[in-house]
Amino acid sequence: MTTLLECGPLSAKDGEGRTLFHGARLTLDEGRLALLEGPSGSGKSTLLRQVAALLEAPGASRRLEGEEYGPGRLARWRARVTLAAQDAPVLPGTVAWNLEFPFAFRHARRNECDPAAQRAALDGVGLERLPLDRDVATLSGGERHRLALARALLWDPPVLLADEPLAGLDPDRAALCFERLAEHAHRAGRAVLCVLHEGVMGFSGDRRLRLVDSRLEEA
């Protein structure tokens, strides 16, 4: 098994100064779906945001396929180790705009994102009936979450960090979306680390990590 991503040591405190986790090291293997668990408030989102380099992680090194991404290369890193953030943020505008905007960035790994691919990505998460020109302001919470997941899958990063991607979905749709995540993870050169929301049952990955007592460990 090949190690795809190595990141650490990661440490963080919460707003009151209590340690969330200390000296955590994360490794993700190619072709694997890992689930990250832990009680609410244990710092799962913070950990994901640090891995994605959206939060500072002093002293941490970030490696993808053995290649170090240090200062000055973090935008490149995020294009490859992409966070699908909690609450499924969207940009004002159409569904199509929300799917294609990253492909115009300088560090995009490819610049084409044709409507057929966009359509297929939406169909894959059960949004067959959602037109590409719909204004995202009119989407329901569940539709928004699936749109955000479709965007992440279309973007096709080597490592996808998904923070509660199934929130607000009914069981059937949640199962469909989880299947898409697993498919993505199981491809060559890919890996997924996924945090599931509180109370969601019946999903298992290839590996379970737990954030408990300020340590990151195998569950």
Partner 1 sequence: MGPLIHLQPLDLVVSTMLVVAAGVISVLLRLGIGRRLAVAAVRTVIQLGLIGLVLEKIFALRQAAPVVLLVLLMIFFAGREAVKRTGRRYPSVYLDAWLAMAVSCLAVGGVVTQVVVGVHPWFDPQYVIPLLGMILGNSLTGVALGLDRFLEHLAVRRAEVELRLAFGATRAEALTPPLRDAMRTGMIPILNSMAAAGIVSLPGMMTGQILAGSPPLQAVAYQVVVMFMIAAAVAIGAMLVVLAAGRRLMDADGVLRLEGLQAR
Give SS3 for 80.
Answer: helix
User: Which residues 6+ apart lie within 8 Å of 211 measured at CB?
Assistant: 20, 21, 24, 36, 37, 38, 42, 43, 44, 47
Binding mask 135-174 for partner 1 (x = CB under 8 A): --------------------x-------------------
76 near partner 1, judged by CB under 8 A:
yes
Give the containing element (helix H, strand E) for 120.
helix 115-124
Pick the piece of the chain touching partner 1 (CB under 8 A) from 38-46, 66-74, 129-137, 204-212.
66-74
Alpha-carbon gap, residue 85 to 15, rounded angstroms:
20
Q: Which is nearer to partner 1, 108 or 182 (CB)?
A: 108
Q: How far is CA 41 from CA 37, 38, 153, 168, 197, in A?
A: 11, 8, 27, 19, 12
Q: Which is nearer to partner 1, 83 or 194 (CB)?
A: 83
51 near partner 1, judged by CB under 8 A:
no
Which of 90, 117, 132, 212 is close enough to bind partner 1 by CB under 8 A?
90
The residues of the shown chain that bind partner 1, judged by CB under 8 A, are 52-56, 71-72, 74-76, 78-80, 82-85, 87, 89-92, 101-102, 105-108, 155
